[in-house]
Amino acid sequence: MEIRNIAIIAHVDHGKTSLTDSLLRQAGVGGDGVSMDMNDLERERGITIYSKNASIFYKDTKINLVDTPGHADFSSEVERVLRSIDSVLLLVDAQDGPMPQTRFVLKKALQLGLKPIVVINKIDKPAARPDWVQDEIFSLFMDLGASDEQIDFAVVYTIAKNGIAKLNLTDESNDLVPLLETILKKVPVASSEELNKKPFKFQPFNLGYDDFLGRLAIGRIYQGTIKPEANVFVKTQGSPDAKPGKVIKIFSFRGLERQEVNEAQAGDIVMLAGLTDIDIGQTVCVDPAEEILTAITVDEPTISLNIFVNGSPLSGRDGKFFTSRQIKDRLAKELEINVGLRIDFSSNEDFKVFGRGELHLAILLENMRREGYEMQISQPQVVFKEKDGKRLEPFEEVTVDVPTEMMGGVIEKMARRKGLAMDIKTEENHTKLVFEIPTRGFLGYRGEFIVDTRGEGIICSQFIGFRPHIGEIEHHSVGSMVSMATGKALTYALGGLQERGTLYIGPSEEIYEGMVIGNVARGNDLLVNPTKGKVLTHVRSKGADEAIILMPRVNLTLEKGMEIMNEDEYLEITPKIVRLRKKILIEVDRIRAKRLESQKNG
């Protein structure tokens, strides 16, 4: 049986998972309610976070499919997958055209010499413009330095959610056969008898875990065949040693299910059990003298934050895991499968976590929160580098699509944050803006953007590299409304405080001294008492029976908290609630610390 390996790459929300699900259904290995996005967070957010494997069978050919994330923060998932496949389906929205992440993933694919098949999806949209999109894709290939062979790409038009593919817009079709035929025609065959005769060589690009089998290595067999109980060697780039191991079980993919097999051949993507210490990018072979496969590398992290043991007065009430040792073990486990993550365990007080973006770190923290972990984190900071005596900082390319009448406000805010407009295109009543901006300036802007554009704007970004430090950046800062008392918040007190700013809490919620319960428009912090009750007297007043109407509070989510927190604050994260608090809870101690810091700096 022939084997073809292909990955689906695209910008977020362009239809990768919908296309994969339709392929699985039409191949008879997927049903209603079965989706590649199996993780709860993926279903809630409607995005792919983790790359996943599936396979379908068509005309006596096994087609291994890898669904990849579309968000720039999870691009490390894409980078490691592209090394293990032979072609990609580049999925592009028929209305939006190429977006920032389209450019990033296509650039990686072209650098590896892959020849993409272009899939223009959502052609049933009322505002679809497939001909314009195809021209834009061609321009993108040219900009990225594609070879003549790569530029001569095949184009397939699809409506992924309905499972329809066409080679021409005017064709009649009710299935994905045109796409499958294009895959058989354009994607190189990964398997051959010649490769099967060579010594076994395998490289994992992903890791799994089983309660009974332990760590599982998911990867591609580059040459040779393998059977259970085979003795192998694990080799690492830069290390002369070859560590012996034994393959206990072998699993192949059929649809989304894994099936135990007695033998796996060259070109297939399989899962090996028994190699307890295997890591992504290592080479597994039967001959210790075999040449090592090139290690899988990913781009550097751009953002960091510190994770601490939860030290608030309300700690330990909601979570099951809250000690330093438990948090450290969980973070170490995450490192096994999250190659875009870096963690510094050198400090005894905290753990410094480095990631590819705010969402990348937020997903890790959200998973830990749902597993029962309690912790507190510091404000996210960008990662600086030193090169040739110069201080470098990360920059991002930000693409914005907004109604034309709102363009001025967006340009003003981006300019204030040291963003430089690189391109402006106006079509009908919408304007597309492209900025280059320091990551430092872009942090915390997404929330403001949603408010400024009343939810009608689209914003996305991608990391473009490290550049010289640009100096101080002006942010729109708000002051914190800080509780001076411990107890339960009362409606009477909150009714007066809501006139001073925006509240993060509601009545009857437990609060403590030093907790941030809201913000104020002025840049200075405001000490308040949310536990203050109404003084009762024997004298009837005119407003005695007036009802207090509270405005809806701001729901403080993990990502919202990371966005709005100040440098002197921690974000307290528990399985049930997210709170903001000052690093130093008592006001007198905060004043004393500020005075000492000013004396030290002065």
Q: Which long-range contacts (CB under 8 A, 24 or more apart) does 337-346 make?
A: 337/206, 337/207, 337/208, 337/209, 337/280, 338/76, 338/364, 339/76, 339/80, 339/280, 339/281, 339/296, 339/298, 340/74, 340/75, 340/76, 340/77, 340/298, 340/299, 340/301, 341/301, 342/301
40 with 151, same domain: the answer is yes
pLDDT category of residue 542 using cuts at 50, 70 and 90: low
Q: Tokens standing for 418?
A: 């040291």
Number of structural domains, the chain?
4
Q: pLDDT value at position 39?
A: 64
399-454 pLDDT, tens digit per residue, is: 888 888 888 888 888 888 888 988 888 887 888 888 999 988 888 788 788 878 88
- Give the model's pLDDT for residue 581: 92
Handedness of CA 21, 24, 27, 31 (dihedral sign): negative
Tens digit of each residue's pLDDT (9 = 90 or more) over 462-478: 888 888 988 888 766 67
Of the pLDDT bands very low, low, confident and very high (cuts 50, 70, 90), residue 236 is confident
Per-chain mean pLDDT for the chain: 85
Examine the domain organization and report whether 45 and 63 are in the same domain.
Answer: yes
Residues 252 and 262 in one domain: yes
Half-sphere exposure of residue 585, counting CA atoms within 13 Å on the CB side? Answer: 12
pLDDT at 97 over 60: yes
Whether the CB-CB separation of 483 and 427 falls below 8 Å is answered with no
Cβ-proximal residues to 586 (8 Å cutoff; 6+ apart), any chain: 513, 514
Residue 34: per-residue pLDDT = 58
Residues 538 and 406 in one domain: no
In the chain, what percentage of residues exceed pLDDT 70?
93
27 is a domain residue:
yes
Averaged pLDDT, 177-198: 88
Is residue 319 in a domain?
Answer: no
Higher pLDDT, 219 or 28: 219
Tell me, yes or no, whether 135 and 274 share the same domain: no
| pLDDT exceeds 80 at position 505 | yes
Q: Is residue 545 pLDDT above 60, yes or no?
A: no
What is the predicted pLDDT for the residue at 446? 81
Domain termination residue (choose one: 421, 451, 468): 468
What pLDDT score does 510 carry?
A: 92
Examine residue 488 and state whether it is found in any structural domain, yes or no. yes
pLDDT of 546: 64
Lowest mean pLDDT among 51-60, 302-311, 386-395: 51-60
CB count in 10 Å sphere of residue 311: 13
In a domain, 63, yes or no: yes
pLDDT at 33 (0 to 100)? 58
Compute the distance between CA of residue 209 and CA of residue 207 in angstroms, rounded to an integer: 7
Query: CATH number, domain at 549?
Result: 2.40.50.250
Residues 219, 246, single domain; the answer is: yes
* φ/ψ (deg, to 5) at 64: -85, 125
Which pLDDT belongs to residue 579?
A: 92
pLDDT at 66 over 80: yes
Of 100-104, 289-293, 537-541, the poorest mean pLDDT is in 537-541
Q: What is the pLDDT of residue 428?
A: 76
Give the domain extent around 414: 385-468
The CATH number covering residue 92 comes to: 3.40.50.300
What pLDDT score does 410 carry?
87
Query: Which neighbouring-strand residues pair with 321?
Result: 373
In this structure, is the dihedral angle defined by the CA atoms of residues 394, 147, 298 and 56, taken in order, positive or negative?
A: positive
462 and 477 inside one domain: no
What is the model's pLDDT at position 161?
A: 86
pLDDT band at 38 (very low <50, low <70, confident <90, very high): low
349-371 per-position pLDDT tens digit: 889 999 888 888 888 999 999 99
* % residues pLDDT > 90 (the chain): 15
273, 211: one domain: yes
Domain CATH code at residue 201: 2.40.30.10
pLDDT-derived band of residue 325, with 50, 70 and 90 as boundaries?
A: very high
Residue 115 inside a domain? The answer is yes
In this structure, the answer to whether residues 32 and 180 fall within a common structural domain is yes
Query: Is 43 inside any structural domain?
Result: yes
440 shares its domain with 519 = no
Q: Are residues 16 and 160 in the same domain?
A: yes
Q: What is the CATH number of the domain that holds 409?
A: 3.30.70.240
Query: Any idea which of 86-100, 411-425, 471-485, 575-589 has the lowest mean pLDDT?
Result: 471-485
Helices then strands (H, E): number in the chain? Answer: 16, 33
Q: What is the pLDDT of residue 119?
A: 92
In a domain, 346, yes or no: no
Query: What's the rounded Cα separation, in Å, for the pair 556 and 130?
Result: 40
Tell me the whole-structure pTM to 2 decimals.
0.80
> Which of 12-21, 271-280, 562-571 is the least confident region?
12-21
Tell me what the mean pLDDT of segment 561-590 comes to. Answer: 90
Tell me the torsion sign for CA atoms 277, 280, 284, 289: negative
CA dihedral 41, 44, 47, 48 (to 10 degrees): 40
Residue 374's pLDDT is 93
Which of 451, 468, 485 lies at the terminal end of a domain, its last residue? 468
Q: What is the reported pLDDT for 575?
A: 92
pLDDT, residue 156, reads 92
Residue 544 has pLDDT above 60, yes or no: no
For residue 290, tell me if it sits in a domain.
Answer: no
* Spatial contact of 322 and 370, defined as CB atoms under 8 Å apart: no
Could you tell me where the DSSP H helices lie in 189-323?
Answer: 193-196
Shared-domain flag, residues 45 and 67? yes
Cβ proximity of 432 and 399 under 8 Å: yes
Specify whether the CB–CB gap between 583 and 569 falls below 8 A: yes
**What one-letter code names the amino acid at 464?**
I
Q: What's the whole-number mean pLDDT along residues 271-290?
A: 85
Boundary residue ending a domain (260, 285, 310): 285
**For residue 557, which phi and psi values (nearest 5 degrees)?**
-90, 175
